[in-house]
A = this chain, B = another copy of it.
Amino acid sequence: VPARPITFLSDYGYEDAFAGVCRAVIARIAPDAQVIDLTHGIRRHAVGEAAAVLANTLPYAPEGVHLAIVDPGVGSPRRALAVRVEDGDRVLGGPDNGLLAPAIDALGGARAAADVSLSPFRLERVSATFHGRDVFAPGAAHLARGVPFESVGPALDPASLVASPLPTARAIDGGIEAEIVYVDTFGNVKLSALLDEVRAALGEPVGRRYRVTLGDGREHVIPWSPTFGERREGEPLLYEDSYGRACIGVNRGNAAETLGLAGGTPVTIRPEDEARAPAGSG
């Protein structure tokens, strides 16, 4: 039986060999397992960003083992997880800090969970600071080779897992209230609202203009466009990203820099007209 593929996402970066040595550990245990690096460029300790990227991408990945490590609490008593999901023959592995939660939801929910902190498959010597290499990578490699899920560690109640760190969106009077989840490589700003939620609150947005109010009171009027190319160079747009999420971009530019936006900022979106009305009244 050939080993199953392993996807791998982390905040290890590319400058040191953090991700590389995890791949070396996997290759030693499961030489024929294909490792698919989703990215190791998650901002350091950005659990929310990682959780969003993981939930977006895993549905595109082959069934197998899904390793995800953004672990600011390594060395503390946080639990180390392996989670079987309902959709497909997939096991997720990573720290119990919410990182896996949105992906588990996107894959039908948790069918079973285990604490792998003391897994029999961990390396002989477990360091205090690098559980990716010593606990998670060897666990993923053994699972890819086909060891039974039950063997990786004591069962946990799936309901006890740390919940998703991702902010949500909510409809408010004449608008939608969201938060900036993270900023991507290109400076595109990811909101906590999905297109479907925008549509439910505001109707079909394409072709309309919105007043975007930031937490500090700054406002930008931005049209909603299906593509960047419909805007002039340097002009901002609201759009649906390729994962169904509402975003703010700038055609051939960097929206986060141009508009002064950063992760964690609250954002309210209202149609331009309704937004003006209160300002003009009184």
A76 contacts across to B, CB distance below 8 A: 227, 229
Judge if A136 is at the interface, Cβ distance under 8 Å. no
Contact yes or no, B75 A226, CB < 8 A: yes
Asked, given contacts A38-B20, A129-B242, A226-B128, whether A60 binds B28 with beta carbons under 8 Å apart, the answer is yes
* Residues from 69 to 119 in A contacting B, C-beta threshold 8 Å: 72-76
User: Does A268 lie at the interface of the complex (its beta carbon under 8 Å from any beta carbon of B)?
Assistant: no
Residue of B nearest to A23 (CB): B36
Q: Which of A14, A130, A239, A242 has the most CB of B within 10 A?
A: A242
Residues of B within 8 A of A226 (CB): 75, 128
**Any B CB within 8 A of the CB of A7:** yes
Among A39-47, A160-168, A170-178, A196-204, the one that faces the other chain is: A39-47
Q: Contacts A62-B31, A129-B228, A129-B241; is A39 near B16 (CB within 8 Å)?
A: yes
**Assembled-state Cα–Cα distance A44/B250 (Å):** 14
Indicate if the CB atoms of A17 and B31 lie closer than 8 Å: no
Contacts of A27 in B (CB 8 A): 5, 34, 36, 61-62
A225-261 vs B, Cβ < 8 Å mask (1 yes, 0 no): 0111110000000011110000000001000000000
A273 interface residue per 8 A CB criterion: no
Could you tell me if A28 and B185 are in contact, using CB atoms closer than 8 angstroms?
A: no
Interchain CB contact under 8 A, B62 and A24: yes
Q: Is the interface of A mostly helix, strand, loop or mixed?
A: loop
Report yes or no: A14 in contact with B40, Cβ–Cβ below 8 A: yes
Q: Is A134 an interface residue (CB 8 A)?
A: yes
Q: Are B133 and A60 in touch, CB under 8 angstroms?
A: yes
- Contact present for B75 and A229 (CB under 8 Å): yes
Confirm or deny: A219 has a beta carbon within 8 angstroms of a beta carbon on chain B: no
| 23 contacting pairs across A/B (C-beta < 8 A) | A5-B31, A9-B17, A13-B186, A14-B14, A14-B39, A14-B40, A15-B43, A17-B38, A17-B57, A18-B185, A19-B39, A21-B61, A24-B38, A24-B57, A24-B60, A27-B36, A27-B61, A44-B186, A74-B228, A74-B229, A75-B228, A128-B226, A134-B242
In the A-B complex, the 7 residue pairs with the smallest Cβ-Cβ separation, listed nearest first, are A75-B227, A130-B242, A20-B38, A127-B242, A15-B41, A24-B61, A13-B185
Q: Spell out A's residues near B (CB within 8 Å).
A: 5, 7, 9, 12-21, 23-25, 27-28, 31, 34, 36-45, 53, 56-57, 60-62, 72-76, 127-130, 133-134, 184-186, 226-230, 239-242, 252
